[in-house]
Amino acid sequence: MTHPLIAREGWLVLLAAFSAAILATIFLGAWSVPFWIWAVFALQFFRDPARVPPSDADAVISPADGRIVAVEKVRDAYLDRDALKISVFMNVFNVHSNKSPVDGEIKGVWYMPGSFVNADLDKASTENERNALWIQTPHGDVTSVQIAGLIARRILCYVRIGDKLARGQRYGFIRFGSRVDVYLPTSARAEVSIGQKVTGGRTILARW
């Protein structure tokens, strides 16, 4: 999916923010500063730079910008299997568009309502509002899960069963602080560690 430098999900927010800032400048003068701070924050939040994924055929790439908060063997409840889970936490200053970690076909999509605890916590994976994709690849099945955070209130996913995704292809967006969990076959080898900063569509999370 092609997209502009500024995410389309933010166009209305930015229009409102900059309109309010301009009007505040006209009518309030110096008191308009808080309006401009909000407008600039919204502009940086909804930025969505193009990314070129690595060409390595065996690479699984990060679906989001942020920080690694989990690298562990767990049970993937979506596909009922043992899996390697790698989790990326996004704060409000990270790019929030989500990209496919692998080349593959969408075989399942599950949306689950839930709470909005801090996405940095482990329980966010099972308690928060989330949207999961089952992506079938020649190397094995991958589950990529968008998870809402403490102040996130909107998970957007633009793909359906039968769609095909390429690594690095944009497929969704989460508004304001969140997390993405990636479940891989246990044979995959993690290439990142907890605390590491990653770039969506570019950093290699694991290899097959």
Enumerate the active-site residues.
178
Q: How far apart are CA 91 and CA 176, in angstroms?
A: 8
| Residues contacting 137, CB < 8 A, separation 6+ | 102, 103, 104
- The C-alpha angle with vertex 59 and arms to 62 and 160, in degrees rounded to 5, equals 60
> Tokens 């389309």 — which residue?
8
